[in-house]
Chains A and B, each alone.
Chain A
Amino acid sequence: MRAVRDEAEGAARPVDAPPRTGPGPSRLRYRMQRAWAKPGLRAFVTVYLPLSLVGVLGWRVVSDDDLRRLAETRATALWEAVAARPEFALKGIEIVGGSEALRARAHEAIGLGAGASSLEVDVAALRARIEALDAIRSAAVRLDPQGMLRVEIDAREAVALHRDASGELTLIDAEGVRIGAVSQRGLYPQLPLILGEGGERAVHDVLSLMDGAPDLVPRIRAFVRVGERRWDIVLEGERVIMLPAEAPGRALARVMALHYGEELLDRDIAVIDMRVPERPTLRLTPSGVEAHRLRQAVSAEGGKDT
């Protein structure tokens, strides 16, 4: 039976018939290639199908608690394994700028040591942490490809001491920003002391007043801000120069002129009131009042005599 069928097939197409030699795609291959040439199908297979598969898988993981937990632990483990590799270890921390003490404080604020994983370094957060230090105006933090964490610090410069209402003594810079607490005034004898409410917001006034009267500086005990608008300069011996709110520098220059001419500040005067610049007023100390009265009495008598 089989033989017969074979024979029949052989008759239909002789075994030694030349094979089809012509080049060209078979019908199936041709159809597949033509179908692939359709942009719709190609987009479906290469974009939408994978996307939807990922979507379905993702949804399954998210919707199933056990699966999600498993995926989370796996992912964290993988992350930790990668982060812990020595290739990603931090080689060191280099801090540039500021004083030694400030650098130590910045290092403390960074809170990382050599050997921590550089993958977990968040330079933006580190920068925020360093800039949170009072004594630092701004900082640049970068992680170089060799694994060094480089920090450049722009430190604030202390120009004055400020004592607030509660009696706490702080260092402030020219913008009046608090830099740090100070236990005794004597630690910074070269810095002026500022008192009074709002005084720290007008540090530049103090600096310009000091610049305008360098001879006065050794005598100054403190600058007192009065009513957040004008200054009193307290000199040694509890003497006070009251300056106007407008043009205090000119008023002070006048006081200094008086001092150079009349040695005003060496006299028994408690208050030099320049609040009305056109009308400087002096208040004598009690002993000065006494001496003045005495002198007036003497001169009155002398007048009588002559």
Chain B
Amino acid sequence: MNFAQIEMFRAMRSRLQTAIKRGRIGVIDIGSSKITCLVLKLDPSRLAEARGTDQLGTSLFGAIEVVGARTVQSRGVRRGEIVDMDEAARAIRLALLTAEKMAAPRVDRVDQVIVSFSGGRPQSFSTMGEVETETGQVTERDISAALAEAPEPPIGEGRQILHAQPVEITLDHQSGITDPRGMTGRRLSIAQHVLTVAARPLANLMECVRRCDLDLAGVVNSAYAASLSALVEDEQRTGAVCIDMGGGSTAFSVFLRDHLICVDQIRFGGDHVTADIASGLMMRQSAAERIKTLYGGVIPTGADERDLIDAPRIGEEETPERRQISRGMLIGVIRPRVEETFRLLRARLADIGVDGMPGSAYVLTGAASQLPGVDEMATRILGRRPRIGRPLRIAGLPQSLSGPDSSAAVGLAIYALKPHDELWDFEAPRPWSARGRAVEIVRWFRQSW
């Protein structure tokens, strides 16, 4: 599999290397309702050391420190896609500048950023490539060849690959290999998970970052990013579904044996709940958001009818005799939408066969997972008790960003550091590589005679 944008991803990787060398990088989680920017200080020597000793990258997180953080209201973004370039760029600039200001004494300005992308209707494919090893022992070259051998899945017109990672490596029918380099075997086959998104929204996002004079060092699907920080390592190994309940959409990512195997999305999110409240109760959007976050819930209780909430109609916000509604009424508005979301989610999970996957944990994260009772609702509909996933603690992370709503931002930071195994991280199998012609000539002789 070799596609047009692979060079673009390779360029992003080299920018990421530059950022790591300089010891500072920014990550920006661009969501539909908020934009979070973290400025990270990296310790390149510790990073290199940890990478050398630790393949899974669990000890990497001591090498980074959050020195600047800022969350701003998102503008010009709807369902994770840019709808007003100028406004979105302004919001990103605001988030970045204020985060940099906070970080100013510790690091200089950041030039490279990793951004998240939650729109573009992510779709997962899998593809498999198989090669004969050249020498009977697997080399990096064989892995590249196997990855390149895989046929490109039918991703469709106007769509583009965002992630392509090997998930299953088989060597002579022996499966479950984590690192085949140096192992003996004849047939190497590598199954890949390919995540595609719509090309145009992605291009818009990249243009938006370019308008902020920033070098793009990576674009990560936000559900993937959220699962990197919300799932613990054991969950990633034994299998887990991370449900990222955002403002514009609810996305889920499925992990099995340390690998992302599927990402999908339902286009309902917290903003839709707010819109339901606003239209159902005839309130302003801001007032609806306020009562949702302060009093909202999905599971009715006996006390609901006695709790009265200020719920002013449009235009009567300032008058003394505002309308009051019971909490039960509010729950009555919120509940159907959340229920619908989970029903859709259940159908999707059933489609891909995850619901029958034994031992897999469900983890709810994202801002909408803070709605009281949402885990109860998930238990009833999905049939398994989920846990609320908070992001991994990394050094210097402010208290305000340690809730489930910032797991995508923290996940981006983790993505920046973890060992990368995307398709474009492997050397391209070119006949005349930079490794020296003599080596190539020797190889050619060996293969030919």
Q: Which of B79-131 contact A (CB under 8 A)?
A: 86-87, 89-91, 93-94, 97, 100, 104, 108-109
A33: Cβ under 8 A from any B Cβ: yes
- Given contact pairs A22-B87, A24-B94, A37-B100, enumerate 18 new A-B contacts (beta carbons under 8 Å): A22-B73, A22-B76, A22-B90, A23-B90, A24-B93, A25-B90, A25-B93, A25-B94, A26-B90, A30-B93, A30-B97, A30-B213, A31-B213, A34-B100, A37-B104, A37-B108, A37-B109, A39-B108
Which of A22, A33, A37 contacts B75 (CB under 8 A)?
A22
Question: Contacts of B109 on A, CB cut-off 8 Å?
Answer: 34, 37-38
Question: Contacts of B72 on A, CB cut-off 8 Å?
Answer: 23-24
The 8 A CB mask of A8-28 against B (1 = contact, 0 = none) is: 000000000000101111110
Min CB gap A81→B, angstroms: 44
Instruction: Name, among B73, B75, B93, the residue most crowded by chain A CB atoms within 10 Å (CB to CB).
Output: B93
26 contacts between A and B (CB under 8 A): A20-B87, A22-B73, A22-B75, A22-B76, A22-B91, A23-B72, A23-B90, A24-B72, A24-B90, A24-B93, A25-B90, A25-B93, A25-B94, A25-B97, A27-B93, A30-B93, A30-B212, A30-B213, A33-B97, A34-B97, A34-B100, A34-B213, A37-B100, A37-B104, A38-B108, A39-B108
B290: Cβ under 8 A from any A Cβ: no
CA distance A31 to B96 in the complex (A): 12
B384: Cβ under 8 A from any A Cβ: no
CA distance A34 to B100 in the complex (A): 9
Min CB gap B355→A, angstroms: 42
CA distance A272 to B109 in the complex (A): 100
Min CB gap B240→A, angstroms: 37
Q: Which of A101-135 contact B (CB under 8 A)?
A: none
Question: Contacts of A24 on B, CB cut-off 8 Å?
Answer: 72, 90-91, 93-94
Min CB gap B111→A, angstroms: 9
CA distance A37 to B214 in the complex (A): 14
Min CB gap B265→A, angstroms: 26
A-B CB proximity, top 6 nearest: A24-B90, A37-B109, A24-B94, A22-B75, A30-B93, A25-B93
Question: Contacts of B87 on A, CB cut-off 8 Å?
Answer: 20, 22
Which partner residue on chain A sits nearest B103 by CB separation? A37
Question: Contacts of A30 on B, CB cut-off 8 Å?
Answer: 93, 97, 212-213
Instruction: Name, among B86, B90, B108, B211, the residue most crowded by chain A CB atoms within 10 Å (CB to CB).
Output: B90
Which partner residue on chain B sits nearest A31 by CB separation? B213
Which partner residue on chain B sits nearest A36 by CB separation? B109
The 8 A CB mask of A180-224 against B (1 = contact, 0 = none) is: 000000000000000000000000000000000000000000000
Q: Which of A150-179 contact B (CB under 8 A)?
A: none
CA distance A30 to B93 in the complex (A): 7
Min CB gap A18→B, angstroms: 11
Min CB gap A93→B, angstroms: 53
Question: Contacts of B100 on A, CB cut-off 8 Å?
Answer: 34, 37
Min CB gap A279→B, angstroms: 92
CA distance A34 to B212 in the complex (A): 10
Question: Contacts of A22 on B, CB cut-off 8 Å?
Answer: 73, 75-76, 87, 90-91
Question: Contacts of A20 on B, CB cut-off 8 Å?
Answer: 86-87, 90
Question: Contacts of B89 on A, CB cut-off 8 Å?
Answer: 27
Min CB gap B135→A, angstroms: 50
The 8 A CB mask of A217-235 against B (1 = contact, 0 = none) is: 0000000000000000000
Min CB gap A162→B, angstroms: 73
Instruction: Name, among A27, A38, A39, the residue most crowded by chain B CB atoms within 10 Å (CB to CB).
Output: A27
Question: Contacts of A38 on B, CB cut-off 8 Å?
Answer: 108-109
CA distance A31 to B109 in the complex (A): 12
Interface pair B211/A23, CB less than 8 Å apart: no
Interface pair B108/A27, CB less than 8 Å apart: no
Q: Which of A25-83 contact B (CB under 8 A)?
A: 25-27, 30-31, 33-34, 37-39
CA distance A33 to B100 in the complex (A): 10
CA distance A38 to B100 in the complex (A): 11
CA distance A37 to B110 in the complex (A): 9
Instruction: Name, among A25, A26, A30, the residue most crowded by chain B CB atoms within 10 Å (CB to CB).
Output: A30
Question: Contacts of A37 on B, CB cut-off 8 Å?
Answer: 100, 104, 108-109
Question: Contacts of B104 on A, CB cut-off 8 Å?
Answer: 37
Question: Contacts of B90 on A, CB cut-off 8 Å?
Answer: 20, 22-26
CA distance A22 to B97 in the complex (A): 15
Which partner residue on chain A sits nearest B100 by CB separation? A37
Question: Contacts of B93 on A, CB cut-off 8 Å?
Answer: 24-25, 27, 30
Which partner residue on chain B sits nearest A33 by CB separation? B97
Question: Contacts of A34 on B, CB cut-off 8 Å?
Answer: 97, 100, 109, 213
CA distance A44 to B225 in the complex (A): 40
Question: Contacts of A26 on B, CB cut-off 8 Å?
Answer: 90
Instruction: Name, among A20, A22, A25, A38, the residue most crowded by chain B CB atoms within 10 Å (CB to CB).
Output: A22
Min CB gap A188→B, angstroms: 76
Q: Which of B361-388 contact A (CB under 8 A)?
A: none
Q: Which of B129-150 contact A (CB under 8 A)?
A: none
Min CB gap A42→B, angstroms: 10
Interface pair A27/B211, CB less than 8 Å apart: yes
Question: Contacts of A25 on B, CB cut-off 8 Å?
Answer: 90, 93-94, 97
CA distance A171 to B91 in the complex (A): 93
